Amino acid sequence: MYILGTDEAGYGPNLGPLVISVSVWTAERDLSGTEMYERLRPVVCQASNKRTLKSTPGSFLLDDSKKLYQGQKTAGLKHLEYALLSSLRCLGRISNNASFSDLFNALTVCNEQTYSLPSWEIPEQTPLPIDADKTYLDETTIAFTHIQEESGIHLTDLRSDVVFPARFNVQCDALGNKSTLLSKTTLNLLKIALKNCPGETVVWCDKHGGRNFYADLLNDYFNESPDKRSSGNGSEKDSDGQLSLFDDCEKQDEQARPNFVEILEQSESISSYRFTWQGYVRTIHFQAKSDCSPPAAMASIACKYLRELFMNQLNEYWQKKVPGLEPTAGYPVDAKRFLEQIRSEIDFPIDQLWRKK
């Protein structure tokens, strides 16, 4: 049984990338997030049981990244680093002397760039970890390896897609909104991961921009039959061959939905679907705040860590050009302040820096 989780970081900001990640785990059967945490303890801890960290050598936090990172003034990046770097070491994807560039190459796929990246979007050879203790990181790597063997729950893959502003803007223009961009980019990444999941699969995704209906999108991405049909609540081609979008609503033609995707439930709290792809049953849940399981939490951490490293580079680049410039996290109000302070130094198309939505 494969259990996957997806998440994103950077959906709301105007500066910096949108990062989407998927983590892939195996177990003998479908396990809830609670069951997975129980079997991975005491090495893998949620933020609510931090006390275990002091009593169990090599233990680390695995939870929604917003619970593990509140800025550099507290614990910095260390909790993200213990979870992410030890996991990638266990997967054999990075060495003990990895840099930011190594991490980026180990994680990222689908980076469709049609322009030369500005320097702050090129991952530097910054040594990792940044805030974590290297000796303790060695311990977490060993402990995580052992608990996977003991529990029968294994992390088998972890992948990310980094959508920089220029690509974000082009795709938003084509699709009409960033919610559809998020959904399509997530499903594209998910499809890549599922190609390496030869068995029954359960996927947990956070809801995308308030969307409640995903059957059309799943049909578009996974139905490979030549006569697949759109159900009318997603996207279709208009007479000019351009994508025309339709808002999700309850006015859907139930008879028009493709048989390929079985709709299990569609509500504000959860939207669930089942279909067979590459010979295996795939069940996908889109749930509000679905980051309460190890697969979703690991994806959340990968997203946040990559985005924070890129934001560090962006801030450092512009601080060298504008003395006294305060760093930004990229969110709308402060991003406008930041943009105004650096505007005189901008000599390239603004779409390479500023996200429209």
Using one digit for the tens of pLDDT, what is the confidence trace for 214-267?
999 999 999 987 666 544 444 333 333 333 333 333 334 444 444 799 999 999
Helix (H, G, I), strand (E, B) or coil at 200: coil
Phi (first) and psi of residue 71, to 5 degrees: 105, 170
Residue 258, CA distances (Å) to 223, 238, 252 in order: 9, 20, 12
pLDDT digits (tens, 9 = 90+) for 294-305: 999 999 999 999
Quickly name the fold that domain 2-207+290-312 has: Nucleotidyltransferase; domain 5 (3.30.420)
Q: What is the pTM of this model?
A: 0.90
- Mean pLDDT, range 346-356, rounded to an integer: 95
In 27-73, where do the E strands start and end?
44-45, 60-61
Strand 201-206 and strand 280-287: pairing?
parallel
Q: What average pLDDT does the structure give for the chain?
A: 89
Question: What does the pLDDT read at residue 84?
Answer: 98
Could you read off the pLDDT of 33-49 as tens digits, one per residue?
999 999 999 999 999 88
